[in-house]
Amino acid sequence: MHLSKRITSMQESPIRKLVPYALQAKKEGKKVYHLNIGQPDIETPASFMQSIRDFKEKVIAYSLSQGSPELIEAIIKYYKKYDMSFEQDEILITNGGSEALLFSIIAVADAGDELLIPEPFYTNYNGFSSAVDVNVAAITCKAEDGFHLPTREEIENLIKPRTKAIVLSNPGNPTGVVYTKEEINMIAGLAKEYNLFVIADEVYREFVYDNLGYTSFGNIKEIEDRVIIIDSVSKRYSACGARIGSIASKNKELIKQILKLCQGRLCVPTLEQVGATRLYGTPNSYFEEVISEYENRRNIVHESLNDMPGVLCKKPTGAFYVVAKLPVDNAEEFVIWMLKEFNINGETVMLAPAEGFYATEGLGRDEVRIAYVLNETDLKKAMNILKLGLEKYAKK
């Protein structure tokens, strides 16, 4: 039987493709420290579960396709804390940030059009684009520069007649970079000059360290008609399984058109919207504790990596990821070897090979993404296992 090129050419997740090796390691009795996936171990605020228990309706009915008015209002109030003002018809609730990304790409680009994306990037940017026959043009960022953007001229040279949008996450997944105000303004200027949309993935907005400032594209008035903000409760409130995301834009016509896609999939799960509505009322004290915890974990990972001979890693300043260059020729082979052949007292580590986070062939082959989502004790153990693994691998 024939399968479409659309699906066969879609990239497999580099984060999940090695899962069978981890499952086999566990079958053999090994403990696997998962640093390969952004699944936080921070407790979800109790208000989410309580709101579900408080749900007294006798029928779980369809929600509105655009999302429940109560959740949209809660998100409007949330954005006001960041000096962003949205109205009910400027926000759509989606099945996670992933659906928000897919719908936004469909809305701004036709088959054969192009998106500019700083690489390494969240792999679904590439997967979703290829699924709808949209091309990705990479803005290559380097580990040596902490994955900050290249010059305006370099980015400008990549803009073509069929370029429709610039897509970027800030803070960055997989790199942990937090773009400076100057970088954000540079992208805004290019978007305005070349009539491009900006799809701003800001799901890690709260996770900024070292007292750095943070600039949202939603704070730049001059380009508000072309900014699409992608958001989610997944990482912010450690509620990945709730699958509640959103699209926010001052471009009402854009929102009106994306609503057609929302109507096509009927609605987002009703109960999860009830829980997410309560989550948006979480006090700031929750974030103060969580950010402090992640910053401490970041320091453990960064210091450990810098103590490993041949490893290159600039300190990340946001999200909860870091991309590190390892002294290996092929990071995927190394990760598989760690799972199949190496352990310390029955324990090993799983990382995400970084080649799949790049669009440019050959880049990232010697890099891995590490998600520092484990508690301090487990992180220290995992980093020690990685260090010993690299030492033994070098002697093979």
Q: Tens of pLDDT along 291-305?
A: 999 999 999 999 999
Read off the tokens for 41.
């171990």
Cα distance between residue 385 and residue 230, in whole Å: 36
- Extract the tokens encoding 268: 């987002």
Handedness of CA 124, 127, 131, 135 (dihedral sign): positive
Mean pLDDT estimate for the chain: 95
Beta bridge partners of 91: 248
289 and 283 Cβ atoms separated by less than 8 Å: no
Between helices 331-341 and 376-394, what is the axis angle to 10°? 110
Tell whether 226 and 154 lie within a shared domain: yes
Per-residue pLDDT tens digits for 205-222: 999 999 999 999 999 999
Question: What pLDDT is attached to residue 212?
Answer: 94
pLDDT at 15 over 80: no
Residues 177 and 229 in one domain: yes
Are 270 and 316 in the same domain?
Answer: no
Whether the pLDDT of residue 396 is over 80: the answer is no
Domain stop point among 279, 301, 329? 279
Residues 253, 186 within the same domain: yes
Could you tell me if residue 285 is inside a domain? no
Residue 383 maps to a domain: yes
Task: Report the C-alpha gap between 351 and 364 in whole angstroms.
Answer: 13
DSSP designation for 3: -
Count CB atoms within 10 A of the CB of residue 191. 21
Percent of the chain surpassing pLDDT 70: 99
The answer to whether residue 287 sits within a structural domain is no
| Cα 370 from Cα 320, distance rounded (Å) | 8
Residue 284 located in a structural domain? no
The residue with tokens 């709260």 is 206
Strands laid side by side in the 91-95 sheet? 91-95, 244-248, 227-232, 197-201, 163-169, 114-119, 135-140
Q: Give yes or no: residues 203 and 325 share one domain.
A: no
For the cut 70, the answer to whether the pLDDT of residue 154 exceeds it is yes
Residue finishing a domain among 279, 306, 337 = 279
Are 218 and 74 in the same domain?
yes
Confidence of residue 191 (pLDDT cuts 50, 70, 90): very high
> Residue 375: exposed, middle, or buried by beta-carbon count in 10 A (0-12, 13-18, 19+)?
exposed
Same domain for 23 and 82, yes or no, is no
Q: Which residues have CB under 8 Å from 94's CB, separation 6+?
A: 67, 100, 103, 244, 245, 246, 247, 262, 268
pLDDT band at 8 (very low <50, low <70, confident <90, very high): confident
Inform me whether the pLDDT recorded for 266 exceeds 80: yes
Confidence (pLDDT) at 14: 67
Q: Which residues are within 8 A (CB) of 48 and not within 5 positions of it... i.e. 6 or more apart?
A: 237, 239, 242, 275, 276, 278, 279
Residue 118, classed as helix, strand or coil, is strand
Region 357-380 average pLDDT: 95
Q: Is 80 exceeded by the pLDDT of residue 352? A: yes
Q: Tell me, what's the pLDDT at 1?
A: 87
Whether 288 is covered by a domain: the verdict is no
For 165, residues 6+ apart whose C-beta sits below 8 A from its C-beta are 105, 108, 109, 115, 116, 196, 197, 198, 199
Q: Are residues 298 and 339 in the same domain?
A: yes
Whether residue 353 lies inside any domain: the answer is yes
Q: To which H or E segment does residue 228 belong?
A: strand 227-232
Identify whether 174 is part of a domain. yes
Give the pairing of strands 367-371 and 163-169: unpaired
What CATH number is given to the structural domain containing 33? 3.90.1150.10
112 and 53 within one domain: yes
Q: Which pLDDT value is given to residue 11? A: 74
The length of the chain in residues reads 396
- Statement to judge: residues 314 and 355 lie in one domain: yes
Q: Which helix (H) or strand (E) holds 154?
A: helix 152-156
Query: Are both 27 and 136 inside the same structural domain?
Result: no
Q: What percent of the chain has pLDDT over 90?
A: 93
Q: What whole-number distance in Å separates Cα of residue 316 and Cα of residue 323? A: 9
Count of domains forming the chain? 2
- Tell me if 368 sits within 8 A of 326, measured CB to CB: yes
123 touches 361 (CB < 8 A): no
Same domain, 261 and 371: no
Tell me which residue range forms the domain holding 275: 46-279
- Residue 324, pLDDT > 90, answer yes
Q: Name, in order, each residue with C-beta under 8 angstroms of 341's C-beta and a sequence gap of 6 or more.
A: none
pLDDT, residue 227, reads 98
pLDDT band at 9 (very low <50, low <70, confident <90, very high): confident
In a domain, 145, yes or no: yes
Last residue of a domain, one of 279, 311, 326: 279
Q: What CATH number does the domain containing 218 carry?
A: 3.40.640.10
Q: How many CB atoms lie within 10 A of CB 293?
A: 17
Question: What letter would DSSP give residue 380?
Answer: H
